[in-house]
Amino acid sequence: MENKRKIAESGSFEKTEFLKEAIKALDKKEFEQIGNTELWKLLKDGNEQAISYVYDKYIYDLFWFGSQFISDKDLVKDCIQDVFTSLVGSQKSSQHVTFIKAYLYKALYRTIMSRIQKEKKYYQAREIIRKTEGFEVVISTEVRMINDEHYNRRIKLINRELGNLSKRQKQAILHYFYDGFTLDEIAVAMEIKGKNSVSKLIRRGLDAIRNNITSLALMILLVLD
């Protein structure tokens, strides 16, 4: 899978003024040592350094995720900014969040879909909505340079097999292998009720390509950064 930072290289991400100020005094080690529950509390309390830390940690993941649904890079970036603006604006919310990255994925998906729904005809005319495309495995530039033929064969096989699945099956499988999400985290990100339903979704996907289950799983682990 192509490095998410490189996928976003086509444009920079502008931080709001409070993020610019917070990053100056940001001690990342301090936040790396606390759990998601405490970090979420800091976010709800409007701790600017905590917000800046989360922004910097997940910005490229979020851009990659949003790009699986729409091809307009600027729109993806706008929606990401909306997610963080909403996060700051909901400090008094009593919502408890255990999986911050999964929550941000869910929030970004909702934001994108809401934006599209408001101007549906406009976005449909521009053909930027990726209804079935997305969540493919892309080989990194570095790997192509090292061993182009060897890895390209594997990528083609992976995408051929994944191409037989529904978009949600592909999404669940790549969240599991690529993001390293637990079943509970996938349930949050995809708004699925319960990890058992997530397990069934992944299992159905793997069953659909059961002739290559083992090789597919191993290759995904080998080629993803």
Encode pLDDT of 150-190 as tens digits: 667 777 777 777 778 899 998 998 899 888 899 999 999 99
Predicted confidence band of residue 220 (pLDDT cuts 50, 70, 90): low
Q: Are the C-beta atoms of residues 37 and 95 closer than 8 Å to each other?
A: no
Residue-level pLDDT at 113: 92
Task: Say what the pLDDT of residue 168 is.
Answer: 93
CA distance 19 to 51: 7
Measured distance CA(174)–CA(176) in Å, rounded: 5
Q: For the chain, what percent of residues have pLDDT higher than 70?
A: 69
Give yes or no for residue 216 having a pLDDT over 70.
no
- pLDDT at position 126, please? 66
Q: Tell me how far apart the alpha carbons of residues 179 and 220 are, in angstroms, rounded to a whole number.
A: 12
Contact 182, 101 (CB under 8 A): no
Residue 103: the pLDDT is 95
- Phi, psi (rounded to 5 degrees) for 194: 90, 145
Classify domain 141-223 by CATH number. 1.10.10
CA atoms of 125 and 185, how far apart (whole Å) = 34
How high is the pLDDT of residue 27? Answer: 62
Instruction: Write the pLDDT tens digit of every residue in 103-149.
Output: 999 999 999 999 888 887 777 766 777 777 778 766 555 555 555 66
Higher local confidence (pLDDT), 34 or 18:
34
Beta-bridge partners for 70: 129
- Of residues 156 and 214, the one with the higher pLDDT is 156
Q: What is the pLDDT of residue 11?
A: 47
User: Which of 96, 14, 93, 92 has the alpha carbon at shortest distance from 55?
Assistant: 14
Domain boundaries defined on the chain: 4-126, 141-223
Neighbours of 87 (CB within 10 A): 22
Can you read off the two tokens belonging to residue 83?
Answer: 């997610």
Instruction: List own/partner pairs for 182-190 with CB under 8 A and 24 or more apart.
Output: 184/98, 184/99, 185/99, 185/101, 185/102, 186/102, 188/98, 188/99, 188/102, 188/103, 188/105, 188/106, 189/99, 189/101, 189/102, 189/103, 189/105, 189/106, 189/109, 190/106
pLDDT at 222: 47
Q: What pLDDT is stored for residue 191 in this prediction? A: 95
pLDDT band at 65 (very low <50, low <70, confident <90, very high): very high
